[in-house]
Amino acid sequence: MFKFKDVDVTFEFKKLPKYDQEYLKTMAYETVQTNSVKNSGKSFKEWYPKAKNFTMFNDKSTMYNYMAEFSGQYANTASHLLNGTKYFFAWTYSK
């Protein structure tokens, strides 16, 4: 079962306002618990088998560099701008 405490956060999460922390946690939970990824009718587990290495970023280039270190594929989703910053939630998976 997915738990936010298992997400590796690459920035100082606790320095964000509480409402932004909650938004990002909700974004992560909703992404992983969705029942239809990309309107496919497939759940997250079916679409991204063996998903792991869940990581939150506050910079796109940092995400690209970090995720490139893993062998295999990765996917991500992005937040709305929160106080001028876009956040990214990424994970690896294998088909």
Q: How far is CA 65 from the centre of its chain?
A: 15
Segment 22-56, tens digit of pLDDT: 999 999 999 999 999 988 999 999 999 999 999 99
Q: How far apart, in whole angstroms, are the C-alpha atoms of residue 48 and residue 29?
A: 15
Amino acid letter for position 83 = N
- Would you state the pLDDT for residue 95? 79
Segment 55-93, tens digit of pLDDT: 999 999 999 999 999 988 999 999 999 999 999 999 999
